[in-house]
Structure 1
Amino acid sequence: MLFSALRKDVVNVLDFMERLKNEEDQNAVDVYLIERLRLELAFICTYVQLSYSDLEQFEVVMSYSRQRVDNLLRPILNDVDSNAGCQYNMDHVLPNLMGNIDDCISSCYRSTSSATMTDEQLNFLLLNLHHLSKYLAERIFPLEIHHEILQNVSGNMKDFHGLIVNGCIEHEIVQYVLPQFQFMAERVGLFLWHDRLDGDSRLFKLAHLLMKIIPIELEMMQICYTNLKASPSAEIERFINQLLETSPEVLREYLIHLQEHMVTVITVSTSGARSIHVVIEFLLIILTDMPKEIIHHDKLFDLLARVGALIREVSTLVHDLEEKSRNEESTDETSRATLDLLELENIELLKEDLEHVYLKAPDSSQWCFPMSDGPLFMHLLHRHLNDLLYSNAYSIALIKEEIGLVKEDLEFIRSFFGNVEQGLYKDLWHML
């Protein structure tokens, strides 16, 4: 009951602040102060909901945040016409808000209940967590990819759960994955709480957090692909387009961290490890070096879902191998051969579909390369090798050393044609 009253007051106050920003006849309000107020209210609501998590220094931190809300409200309201405050009943709402914050902090400090949240409660929690992670990604750590990934994952979860609450997605479809949403929210909330108290090892902890929560996004993508991609709902269509925009980067980071984790906990000689590395490298090339422009637009989501499904399989295999390695269990040769075959078959099938289903046919001019003119061939090859060495593409990074060696050999061969090339340069420049 206390939290319901607090949530109602917060919604009313934030609605009032939005009206202030949009009313032309109102005195100019400080948008920065309003955003700070929104952030503090999101923080308080989040940790009132997660207070059962035995949060360190709960009462001290929450009381400090409560004081900041009070300090932010004063200058905002000083600039507001008193008639506007009366019109929206702020004289009643604001004292109630502060009183409810005090009551929630006091009661939550003694709470140990961790009951499953209702859809409405979870939706409110996901909304606030996304607001907190978005603020960190855009204002505090704008150059850190991990915070951007956290913002995208929490935003996707918030919007997906919103579709459930709004009735766009039937409960039966998502029933098995819903408990994981609260699990994800708790994980993100605990990370943000400890990050506020102590930022040490933040990036390491954030990478660990992403490893825990991105698999839930993989499940969500699978649901969208198998059950929702043909939905006529405009809301679902917008959400799938959002996934197309944000998920490639999320999946890429997950694969990179999964591979790093695998190197740490599984020896190279472990049965099946090599095949998994091959699959990861192949998927990273697709996610990193394949521009959307060369993929048929109506096949984009199919390809992304296919990659996501393979990542789910790889993730399961990695954790199985890790478990066997931890328990010092061995994988027999038959299992190893089966695993290698399955993974390599998956790659071959996807490679074939990339060529025949997903990728647009290349422009014929892209295939033109002089094969009969030796010096011209070597010149153009040398130029392209240079371009490759300066490329940041993931697939190129894997073989940069080899490219460098080929370039050195080519330069050695070209040195024998120096005099001949001098006579051809004039024609060459005309051709280029």
Structure 2
Amino acid sequence: MEREKENEGKREDREANSSSVSSAVLHEDIVNLLDFIERLKNEEDQIVLVTDQIEKLKLELTFLSACLQLCYYISVGSNAEMSCISYEVHDLVQSLFHQSGDAMLVKLKDHVVPRLLENIRSCKISDHHSESSATMTEDQLVELLDALLVNLHYLPEVRAELLLPSRTQYELLQNVFGNLRGFHGLIVNGCIERKTIECVLPQFQLMAERVGHFCFSLLSYQLDKTDEKDEDETDEDEDEVSQVNSMLVHLLLKIIPVSLEVMHICSTILEASKSAELGCFSKKLLEASPDILRVHLIHLQQHMVNAIPRSTSTFNIHVMIEFLLLLFTDMPKDFIHYEKLFVLLARVGALIREVSILIHNLEENTKDEENMNKISCASQDLLENIELLKEDLKHVFLKVPADSS
């Protein structure tokens, strides 16, 4: 009886310790183990390890580490899914190092691995730093944005077969997200006064959460794909590729409008700023904008066809999009006065921002007659602004053709 009570007490202690193991602690353990593996490979008297197993272990540890970073800030995945991943990593670590014999076990004796194995088995992914519905602190948002930058860089290495067919879209995502992270950095560093851009700040957390969900979805694919390769199932799954491409398009439709807001702010509210850092950022943003704007117009056009019933307003919007697309496809930069190029890009970006807002309102209010009337008026106003741009293209932005005589 006493022994049973003693065992019960030990079990309760383990459960208490289990609940105290955070994803942050586990993440630190994983980083230490990856460092340990790298040092083993560089030792002169290194113990022979199975290369394929080592690479698989590194891949899965990196994958688990990336998942933990995201889980720490946003509500993604589930304890059941993460528990399954954790157990697989646990078994792989234990099997690999035990197979390597006593010499390896001696090396591990004073290392983090024993604690890692225990922590992997006991960790529960429930200590989110912030739920999606809560507002993050500035430090939390900065850490999440930085973690996402790392994940966006890492994903093509492990999900090449899914991302390669959508390489252009993915590189655009990296570009857009990198620019938004840069803009947020200017806010944090005090180069931009918060009160001047309060309207756009809440969009950064939502944007980060959306990118985080996308990253987690692709990271989850990674483990499944590794298992499939173990079973000699290496055929490309076209449905998965198509699904990832659709996810990318949907994500870009959601986050490029944030980039358009930033572009609009830089060319209006912050135009008179004397900050050298902001000036460099604005120039970089405009230089990258043609590809972003062109792809966004194409995505908007496809989205309208698939999701919004035809109407006079949608017809007008299609006309606007076709004209704006011509600016990026049929008008060489050599035809535009160089000193006015950025002004033109900012103006076109502002028009595309208005088109994007109009489409969003149209999608949200298709059954509201009063709002539809407002949208119809807004589309007419936008058409007039497009006509003004056409006139300015002739008289302001385009070079006068040389006299052939």
Normalized against structure 1, the TM-score is what? 0.63
Q: Which residue of 1 aligns with 2:152?
A: 133
> Structure 1's 233 and 58: CA in aligned 2 closer, same or farther, altered over 3 A?
farther
**Correspondent of 2:86 among 57, 60, 63:** 63
Q: Which residue of 2 aligns with 1:192?
A: 215
Which sections of structure 1, spanning at least 5 residues, go unmatched?
A: 21-32, 75-90, 369-432
Instruction: Name which of structure 1's ranges 284-293 and 153-162 shifts more when overlaid on structure 2.
Output: 284-293
Provide the rounded CA distance (Å) in 1 between the counterparts of 2:341 and 2:394.
Answer: 14
In structure 2, relative to structure 1, the CA distance for the partners of 1:346 and 1:328 (3 Å cut) is closer
Task: Name the residue aligned to 1:147.
Answer: 170
Residue 326 of structure 1: how far off its partner (Å): 4.2
2:180, 2:356 → 1: CA distance?
Answer: 20
Letter matched to residue 243 of structure 1: L
Report how far residue 318 of structure 1 moved: 1.8
Q: How far 1:159 moved relative to its partner?
A: 1.1
Q: Which blocks of at least 5 consecutive residues in structure 2 are unaligned?
A: 1-19, 40-54, 98-109, 222-239
Q: Does 1:228 align with 2:270?
A: yes
CA RMSD of aligned residues (A): 4.3
Q: Distance in 2 between matches of 1:133 and 1:307?
A: 28
Whole-angstrom CA distance in 1 between matches of 2:188 and 2:76: 25
Q: C-alpha displacement at 1:293, in angstroms?
A: 3.4
Match of 2:139 among 120, 123, 141: 120
Q: What code does the residue aligned with 2:183 have?
A: F
- Decide whether aligned partners of structure 1 residues 201 and 179 sit closer, same or farther in structure 2, where only a CA change above 3 A counts: same
User: Contact 1:130–1:155 at 8 Å: present in 2 too?
Assistant: yes
From the superposition, tell whether residues 61 and 289 of structure 1 become closer, same or farther in structure 2 (CA, over 3 Å). farther
Q: 1:304 aligns with which of 345, 348, 372?
A: 345
CA shift, 1:190, in A, is 1.0
With 205-214 and 339-348 compared, the bigger mean Cα shift is at 339-348
1:374 match: none
CA contact (8 A) 2:82 2:125 kept: no
CA deviation profile, 1:283-338 (whole Å, cap 9, x unmatched): 11113333333333333332222112111211222233333434577956x974x4
Deviation at 1:277, TM superposition (A): 1.0
Q: CA deviation at 1:230?
A: 3.8
Residues 40 and 65, structure 1, Cα contact 8 Å, conserved in 2? no
Distance 2:70 2:328 in 1: 34
Q: How does 1:231-380 map to 2 (within 5 A)?
A: 231-268=273-310, 270-326=311-367, 331=372, 336=376, 338-339=377-378, 341-365=380-404
Cα distance in 2, alignment partners of residues 9 and 169 from structure 1: 38
Where in structure 2 are the equivalents of 1:19-168 lying within 5 Å? 41-50=65-74, 52-53=75-76, 55=78, 57-60=80-83, 63=86, 105-106=123-124, 108=126, 113-114=131-132, 115-136=134-155, 140=160, 141-144=163-166, 145-168=168-191
Q: 1:210 — aligned with what?
A: 252
- The CA distance in 1 between the partners of 2:333 and 2:33, in whole Å, is 43
Change (3 A) 1:55 1:172: farther
User: Aligned residues, how many?
Assistant: 333
Q: 1:106 offset after TM fit, Å?
A: 2.8
Q: Give the counterpart letter for 2:126 in structure 1.
A: C
Task: State percent identity of aligned pairs.
Answer: 45
> Any conservation in 1 of the 2:252–2:296 contact (CA below 8 Å)?
yes
Q: Is the 8 A contact 1:120 1:165 kept in 2?
A: no
1:276–1:113 distance in 2 versus 1, CA, 3 Å = closer
Larger radius of gyration: 1
The secondary structure found in structure 2 opposite 1:232 is: coil
Alpha carbons of structure 1 residues 313 and 63: separation in structure 2 relative to 1, 3 Å: same
Q: Could you say if the C-alpha distance between residues 349 and 276 of structure 1 is closer, same or farther in structure 2, counting changes exceeding 3 Å? A: same
Change (3 A) 1:339 1:229: closer
Higher relative contact order (CA 8 A, sep 6+): 2
Would you say 1:182 and 2:205 are equivalent positions?
Answer: yes
DSSP 3-state at the match of 1:205: helix
Query: 1:214–1:254: 8 Å Cα contact kept in structure 2?
Result: yes
Shift of 1:357: 2.5
Mark the CA change 1:202 to 1:273 in structure 2 (over 3 Å): closer, same or farther.
same
Structure 1 residues 97, 235: closer, same or farther in 2, change over 3 A? Answer: farther
Asked whether the 8 Å contact 2:130–2:136 carries over to 1, the reply is no
Contact 1:303 1:358 in 2 (8 A): yes
Deviations 1:95-121 (A, max 9, x none): 899699859953636888443222222
3-state SS in 2 of match to 1:227 = coil
Q: Who is 2:192 aligned against?
A: 169
